[in-house]
Structures are given as C-alpha cells and as structure tokens.
Amino acid sequence: MTTSAQGPDSYGLRPQAVEFPMMLVLSLVYPCNARCPHCPYTNSNIRKEYKDAPYMSEAIFKTIADEAGRYGAYLRISGGGEPMLHRQATDLFVYAKNAGCRVGLITNGSKFTPESCRRLIEGGVDAIEFSVDACTAETYEAVRTGLDWETLEANIRAMLALRNQLGGKSRIICSAVQQKGIDMEAVEAFWVGEIGVDALIRRKFLTWGVNTVLDDTRSADPSAYLDTETVPCPFIFERLNIDSRGNVMVCGYDISCNTNLGNVTTETLRDIWHGPGFQYYRERHLAGRGREIGLCSGCPDWQYRSWQHNYWKVLDTAEHARTETLRQLGPHDDPGVITQGTPP
Ligand code: SF4
C-alpha cells in the first residue's frame, strides 16, 4: 500500500486510512448567501431537497466528532452551503478540536466577526480556506455572485493578522477554481505574495455531474491528473462524505447522496468505512473495473482526482509557510486554549 502511482499493486487504502478514513467531508450547511455560477448547488435542486435538514444538528455533528476524534481524523467542513451560516459553527469546530479531530473549514469569507475569528484561531482550527476565485473586485463579483470584495479582503486580512499576532496554529489558505477569465498567476501574486496567506489552492473546474454544460466553456485547465483506464479513484481509499442528515456518501461526486452507505446515528463510521458498500467500490477500482460502477462510469471528475497532488500536500506547504511567517515575526502572544465546547 503506497500513495505512489506506479501500478495496480501500488494502490489501496492509504496507510493512515486502514482503520478509519483520514478525512470526513461534512455538508454542515446547505443554504448559502452567494450564487456562484460554477457552484453545483446553485445549478441544481439539491438545496431544495435538503429543506428538511438545511443544517446539520449539534447531535449529529458531535456523534461524528466524538468518533473521528479518537482517530485524529480530519473534518473538512464544506459541502452544500456556507458553513459560517450555522449559528453554532464556531462552537462546533472548537468542540471537534477538543475531541481530537483535525478541522479544516472552507468558507466564502463573508460571515466572520472579530469574535468568531478569535475563537477559530484560539480554538486551533487547523486550516481556514477562503474561496476567493479572483484578485479584483470586478472579477470577484462576476464569479462569486452576491458577495462583496471589500468584505472578503478585510476578513482575510483580519484573520491573518490575528493568527500572526497570536502565533496561532491555523493555516490561512485561499483557493481559486481554474476557470476562464481568471488570471491564476495574478490571483496567487495578490493573495500569497501581497496579502501573505500561507498557500493558494488551484482547483480544477469540477462538474460534479451538474456543471457539465458549463465545463467545456468555463474550464481553464481540463488536463487530467490521472488515467481513469488504469488508475483507481483515490477518494474511496482515504475519505468519505456525510450530509446534514448523517448519511454517508461514497464520495464528493455524489452530492445528492444517492449512494447512502449508512447513517452515523445507527452505525459507527468505522463500520461503514469497512462495510460492504465501500468494499464494493474499492474492489472494483483495484481490479481495474471501476467503470462498471454506475456512479463512477459517469463521473467526469475521476480524472481530476490525484494520488499525489492532493490536499495533504497543500496542508504541508501551508504549514511550512505559516511557521516561516511566525518565525520571521518573532515572539507573539500566547493564544491560550478555548475549553468551551469540550466533549464529555
Ligand atoms: S470515480 Fe467519481 S464517482 Fe467514483 S468514487 Fe471516484 S469521485 Fe466518486
């Protein structure tokens, strides 16, 4: 078992995922205060389908965090909407940290307050990732419809300044989708070079099976990371997705939760991870027969998954930048420890 892509024997559960998934991607929230044209939720009926469960409950979140924390797993707070719209957002993230999880937040950056910034930094949230997609107000307002450029810039500057002041452990990251009309070099020069965030993620323009009409016209880099004829999809060997109802999806491509491999209120995540659903997907992919699975055969995003160019590398790159920034800044205030939300 290795993460290198040398041949069929090289693939399998990543060493850190043998017992439990390395990453749990949570759809904490479905509502959003933006209408980004490349967003699969903007371009589908999924938000309407989750009207009965627009926000993950505290009980479901804590069930996930309590189990994941025992394995030091990474909770990636993402999914169908803006996570900071959850009124318990910061309390839940701090709870997960205190339970032993690593926590990474993906946000549009519009809903922070000085208090929530401080709680996230003091709580030791591992990564705060801002979806920026632009480096000018004009472009931002076109690709992040409904959001305000000045608010974004102010909030990122404030988060970064606080992290640096407190010597916090949070990596501050920006991300941009590689779509036409976006000058990625300029985006990186602005956010990393000028503002000083720790890293920029250059995302492929993914279709999620929903943005297919847009893909030909909007993607600025359709080159594949892997050959789907010979290389298994890496996601099923490292991570899983959970919706606001606690249902487990096989991967992030199934954003409508058609696969539903179990529910965290009735089964442990460890059992689901080792259950027949995931085994079926893994065995087919390892045998070079992933295309026989209905979901995977129609997955245009498989080619953009990667065994090498992945989120773990971004975290390492950002961590190096964070420590270097703090080293250059010298001694800082002690961020202390937040204990509110400590698990029982
Ligand atoms: S190939 Fe696509 S649908 Fe299949 S597991 Fe990978 S991401 Fe999911």
Asked if residue 26 lies in contact with residue 58, where contact means CB atoms within 8 angstroms, the answer is: no
308: Cβ contacts below 8 Å, ≥ 6 apart? 3, 4, 5
For ligand 1, say whether the CB of 295 is within 6 Å of any of its atoms.
Answer: yes
pLDDT given at position 59? 98
Provide Rg for the chain, Cα atoms: 19
- Find the largest Cα–Cα distance for the chain: 57
| Cβ contacts of 231 within 8 Å, gap of 6 or more | 5, 11, 307
Distance CA 334, CA 344 (A): 26
pLDDT at residue 34 in the model: 94
State the amino acid at position 114 in one-letter form: P
Look at the alpha carbons of 39, 45, 51, 53 in this order and tell me if their dihedral is positive or negative: negative
Residue nearest to atom 3 of ligand 1 (CA): 296
Q: Are 187 and 132 in contact (CB under 8 A)?
A: yes
Of ligand 1's listed atoms, the one at least distance from the Cα of 298 is: 3
Quick check: 81 and 31 in contact, CB under 8 A?
A: yes
- Answer whether 233 contacts ligand 1 (Cβ < 6 A): yes
Encoded tokens for 171: 């990596």
Nearest to 58 by CA among 88, 31, 24: 88
Query: Of ligand 1's atoms, which has the minimum distance to the CA of residue 281?
Result: 5
Mean pLDDT in runs of 10 for the chain (344 residues)? 48 95 97 89 89 97 98 93 96 98 97 96 97 94 93 97 96 92 92 97 79 66 82 95 97 90 98 97 96 91 86 94 94 56 42
Residue 17 near ligand 1, beta carbon < 6 Å: no
**206 C-beta closer than 6 A to ligand 1:** no
Spatial separation of the C-alpha atoms in residues 38 and 210, rounded to whole Å? 10
156 close to 172: Cβ distance less than 8 angstroms = yes
For ligand 1, is residue 122 a contact (CB within 6 Å)?
A: no
Pairing of strands 199-203, 239-242: unpaired
Q: Residue 178 has what pLDDT? A: 84
DSSP label at 135? Answer: S
**Amino acid symbol at 3:** T
Question: At residue 176, what are phi and psi to the nearest 5 degrees?
Answer: -145, 135
